Structures are given as structure tokens and as C-alpha cells.
Amino acid sequence: MNKQKKTDTNFLSFSFDGSEITCQSGVSIGAALTAADHFGLRKTPLGDRRGIFCGMGVCQECRVIVDGEHSVRACMTPARSSSTVLTGDTHISDGPTELPVVDIESVEIVTPDLLVVGAGPAGAIAASVAAEAGLDVSILDERHSIGGQYYKQPASPNLMPESLTTDKQFSGGRRLIKRLMKSGASVQTGVQIWGAFTPNELAVYDGVKHKIFRAKKTIVATGAYERGLPVSGWTLPGVMTTGAAQALLRSYGILPGQRILVAGNGPLNLQAALELSEAGAEVIGVAELGEKPGVAALFSSGLKMGLNSPRLAFNGLRYLLSLKKLGVPIFYGHRLESIEKKSTGLKVRIVPTQHGSLSSEYSWDVDTVCMGYGFQPSNEILRSLGCSHAYDENRGHLVTNRNYDCETSVPGIYAIGDCTGLRGAPSALLEGVIASISVLKSMDKRVSFSLMIENVIAVIARYQHKVFQSALWKLFDARRYHFEFATSDTIVCRCENVNLGDIEQLLDNCAGSIGYLKRQTRLGMGPCQGRYCAPVAAAMIAKHYQTPIDEFSFFAPQVPLKPIRIADIVSGKKT
């Protein structure tokens, strides 16, 4: 199904459940297994299998066993030559029987002027501007590469898809990465921030040892992850987010399947469908939740979009025209109804979103279903630090309260990009400039005339992009769904296998408390720590009790922010 450009070098082999897998150096375990048509990577206590879903280390569904180490995220871990990979299970790797006594005073303390968390578009530009102006800057990212989801780069030149050789996101990302590496900032990738305590104090495991970062100022730019919208069969191997499919193609040149349905809401699905089609996949269609916009809406929104961001408006038009040219239909006003496992793959069914619609129902046999129903901000660090948030009913997620310069309610903590509420990569870049210049001013650092001009341009452009985004989403206007497409036996909590019916039975007694549901069902107690089920449960509670959602409707953030072994915190990596 997937054909990589083979050369005489840079290839390696490893085994998966006794089968030999060959892939290019730099490819993740998950990508290599996908290329070999292995979609089921982990076995749950129910006996079913799970595979890559988010593709960015959030959902924890693709955990495998690598050389005896359990719970290794296949999507985040590069394949190693001659390693033995086995189907994952629920076992946690055994740590050392004895751990050394650790004095907190012996932990290394790192004290940069500015700590930037996240090396995507927002974080990379913020760190670059601040370091170029003379600040001691450290930038940390969980991934092993810089660029985030938007500017993700091929793991190696040999993995660049031929259809994307002139892609503007790749070239824009290269320029940004080059600027960051030349700026003088200390760039550390593959690190895990597992604790956020007092303002500007973060606990970090860098893959070798535990450190405490105590910066004078902190900029959080942790981005977002795609929402989970529970439907029947959404946990099956071969069902993944649109972003996961893009990551496989853009980072590793690997198709997530040959026959693909893309379903959800928004322009990212159109971009992904086009890229997958041009790379050789058979995209059978895009099921768009929103209704097809009328002529008046197209004219009104198109004019605003064209005036405020001609390049982005042109890209959107290109997606539509190119998909039509390739024969990829867009099914407006349709949603995923169900996904079923078949011996040859998956059977997917889409139906009209509105009851009583004259539109038709469709079903196909496919390899892969890509779900793209919006995003959730990765705001756990901000919430742990006490930064206040408000719930945006229209966008369906928490929005970080910030001032004009992107500083949060906690002095010295700045938040930029999609972790604060979703505005997209162009806006994130602009906020990176604005926040870093604000940091420079707050530390009485000289701000050059050129930087002052850059700041003014960024402020104006951010407003223009806000207008653009507002017009864009009018074209994709659709009701915000949370659990309405699920049936009583649909799994809501992917980690603990809690279904919709389990939650519904307890709503009368939960008194509006998501914590009660957690204690009764283990909802949110798995490795993803409620990132997918908490928004669904919060919406169910709000509807049942007719109460508004706020920042206290979700699970309270707690240490560790993501799963980490105690042995790694205490003694570091075993030698």
C-alpha cells in the first residue's frame, strides 16, 4: 500500500510480533507499522485492539512494548534497528526494586531569563525574537523535532512526498526553524514537562534526568489537539484524526490507508483530503458537518477573507477546485453515523446531519476513516499554574484570559497560539512576536526600532486574521456536537472503556460533579487523563442539569501532567 523511495542506505529492520518490518531511518514505529498494514497496535482488557488515533502522543492509544519496555507510544518513538516490538497491553514496565534517596536540593535548577514551552509556530518565533534581542532563552518541546503540527517537517529528505515538494508549509517551517537555531536560544526536544507548580517553575524530564526550570518569565505555546467525537466504532484501528493522517504523510511520506473517508467540520479536512489524494490515496469523499453555503454567504465571507488574507483565501479556493478536479466529492450536511470492523478493513456509514433532510445516506468499505471535528486547547500547564479561563460556547472549549500583550491572569506567565483558544498558525506566529516584545519591555530590555515596527505590524495583522477566521467559520458554520452521535454502548472514555450508557445511568446522582462520575466509573483515570472524555462528560452534565460550562466543569489539572515513570523522576534513565 505504501511505497517509500528506497535507497541503498538509511534503511533498518525490526520485528513486530515476530514479523520483520523494514523502514527508513527516522520513521516512527507507528508510521512503519502503518506502512506495513499493521493498524492494531495495542490490546485492551476487553480484548479489542487499538491503533494510532491522535498521532501526536496525546491519546496514548498506540502504546506498544519495545525491547521489554511497556507503554511506549508508537507514534512518538523512532524505530530502532533490530529492536523487538510487541503488541501493547495494560502492563506498566517494572522499575528498579530499589530507588535512591533523592534530596530535592540536589535536583538541577535551570534559570533562564525566558522559558518557552512548545516549539511550534508560536513558541519558535517567540523564542527567536527574545533570544535575538539578548535574552537567555530556553525552549522545550515534547516532540523530537521542531515545528509543531502545522510546520511539521519530513523526518528525513528521503521521506518528502513528491506531491508536497513545493509545499509552502514545509518551506515556511524551514525558515522558522533556521531562524530559531541561529537565534542563540537553547533548544531542547524530546523532553517531558510533567509538573507545573508556582509561577515560572516547571518540572522537566529531559530523557536523561529530572530538572527544575525557574525562569524569570514563561511563555506557554503548547498548541492544541483534535477533539474526540464519540460515534459507534470510533475506537477501531484505522480510525484516526485528520491530523494523525497528515502527520503520517508529511513527516514520513506514508499514507494512512489506500481507501479513505475524511469526515468532520472545517477547512483542515479539505486540505488533508487534497494532500492524501495527490499523494496517491483514493479519498472517497469528505463528509462536512456544515451545510453547503449559499451564494450570499460565499460572497460576504469570501470578500472579508480576501481583503484580510488573500493568500489564505486563495488556498481555500484551491482546495475546493482541486478536489473537484480530482473527483473527490464533498457531502455537505453529513456526519459519521457508524464504523464497523470487516475482515478487509472498515465499513463506514454517513447520514444527513439534520433530521428530515432530503440528502442521502452513504456507506463504503474503506481502509481508514479520518475524523476532524475541531480542536481542544492543550492548556493543562496554564490551568495548573492558576491562569484563569472562560468557556466559549461557540467554540466549545476553554479560552485563556489574557491582556492585550498575551499575559495571563498570573503575572509573568504569557500564553500564545492555539493553547489559549483556536485561531490558527498565522495568528499564533503574530502572538509569538507580540508576547516576546512584551517580555522584553517588562524586563527593561532595549526594543529596537525595527522590532517596534514588527510589533505594530503584528498587532494589525492579528486583527485582520481574527476577521478572516470569523468569516471562514461562517462558511463552515455547524452546531457544536459533543455526544449526540453516540449510542448507549459507544465508548466515551477510550482509556477506561466507559460507555455513554454508564455515564447516563449516573447523571441523576452526580449533582453536577464530573468528579463523581470519575469515582464511580474510572472516567478520565487512564493515560490520556481525560483529555478526550472530560469535554464529553462536562457537556452531558451541563445538558442534564441545565447549567453553563465553565473552567470548573472539567477535571482539575494535576501532577503528572502526562504519565511518567517515578524511576525517571528520581533516578533518570537507566544506564
Instruction: Identify the three-state secondary structure at position 499.
Output: strand
- Output the nine-digit C-alpha cell for 147: 515545528
Is residue 214 domain-shared with residue 233, that is, in the same domain?
no
The whole-number pLDDT of residue 5 equals: 46
Instruction: Identify the three-state secondary structure at position 566.
Output: helix
How many domains, the chain? 3
- DSSP letters for 322-368: HHHHHT--EEETEEEEEEEEETTEEEEEEEESSTT--PPPEEEEESE
Question: Residue 189: inside a domain, yes or no?
Answer: yes
For residue 254, give the nearest of 458, 75, 17, 115 by alpha carbon. Answer: 75
Is residue 364 domain-shared with residue 232, that is, in the same domain?
yes
CATH number of the structural domain spanning residue 258: 3.50.50.60
The whole-number pLDDT of residue 6 equals: 47
Indicate whether 482 pLDDT > 90: yes
Q: Lowest mean pLDDT of 197-211, 259-273, 411-425, name the range.
A: 197-211
Is residue 232 domain-shared with residue 213, that is, in the same domain?
no
Region at 68 (left for phi over 0; alpha for psi -120 to 50; beta for the rest): left
Indicate whether 103 pLDDT > 80: no
Band the pLDDT of 337: cuts 50, 70, 90. very high
Is residue 298 domain-shared with residue 205, that is, in the same domain?
no
Residue type, 510: C
Q: Lowest mean pLDDT of 154-168, 308-322, 335-349, 440-454, name the range.
A: 154-168
Per-residue pLDDT, averaged over 347-356, amounts to 88
Question: Which residue, 373, 392, 417, sits at the end of a domain?
Answer: 373
Average model confidence (pLDDT) for the chain?
92
Indicate whether 414 pLDDT > 50: yes
Question: Residue 59: inside a domain, yes or no?
Answer: yes
The whole-number pLDDT of residue 207 equals: 84
Which of 217 and 299 is assigned the larger pLDDT?
217
pLDDT tens-digit series, residues 290-325: 999 988 888 898 899 998 989 888 988 999 999 999
Instruction: Identify the three-state secondary structure at position 217.
Output: strand
Burial of 444 (C-beta count, 10 Å sphere; 0-12/13-18/19+): exposed
Question: Residue 461: inside a domain, yes or no?
Answer: no
Distance from first CA to last CA of the chain, Å, rounded? 39
Q: Lowest mean pLDDT of 94-98, 169-173, 497-501, 540-544, name the range.
A: 94-98
The whole-number pLDDT of residue 8 equals: 47
The whole-number pLDDT of residue 155 equals: 87
Q: Lowest mean pLDDT of 321-330, 342-351, 361-370, 562-571, name the range.
A: 562-571
For residue 440, give the nearest of 128, 21, 17, 97 by alpha carbon. Answer: 128
Per-residue pLDDT, averaged over 330-334, amounts to 95
- Output the nine-digit C-alpha cell for 132: 535575538
| Residue appearing with cell numbers 473537484 | 324
Per-residue pLDDT, averaged over 462-473, amounts to 92
Domain span including residue 319: 228-373
Q: Lowest mean pLDDT of 218-222, 380-384, 474-478, 493-497, name the range.
A: 474-478
CB 16 within 8 A of CB 86: yes
In the DSSP assignment, the letter for residue 463 is H
The whole-number pLDDT of residue 530 equals: 95
Question: Residue 369: inside a domain, yes or no?
Answer: yes
Which of 475 and 101 is assigned the larger pLDDT?
475
Question: Residue 514: inside a domain, yes or no?
Answer: no
The whole-number pLDDT of residue 574 equals: 41
The whole-number pLDDT of residue 159 equals: 86
Per-residue pLDDT, averaged over 210-219, amounts to 95
The whole-number pLDDT of residue 77 equals: 94
Indicate whether 433 pLDDT > 60: yes
Question: Residue 185: inside a domain, yes or no?
Answer: yes
Per-residue pLDDT, averaged over 218-225, amounts to 97
Question: Which residue, 399, 419, 447, sits at the end of a domain?
Answer: 447
CATH number of the structural domain spanning residue 50: 3.10.20.440
Indicate whether 9 pLDDT > 90: no
Is residue 232 domain-shared with residue 369, that is, in the same domain?
yes
Number of Cβ atoms within 10 Å of the Cβ of 278: 17
The whole-number pLDDT of residue 228 equals: 86
Number of Cβ atoms within 10 Å of the Cβ of 6: 11
The model's pTM: 0.93
CB 499 within 8 A of CB 490: yes
Is residue 253 domain-shared with residue 349, that is, in the same domain?
yes
The whole-number pLDDT of residue 184 equals: 96
Distance CA 196, CA 420 (A): 17
Distance CA 219, CA 127 (A): 9
Question: Residue 547: inside a domain, yes or no?
Answer: no
Number of Cβ atoms within 10 Å of the Cβ of 184: 16
Q: Lowest mean pLDDT of 155-169, 186-200, 274-288, 523-537, name the range.
A: 155-169
- Output the nine-digit C-alpha cell for 485: 452521535
What letters, b where the CB count within 10 A reaches 16 and e where it falls short, cover 208-223? eebbbbbbbbbbbbbb
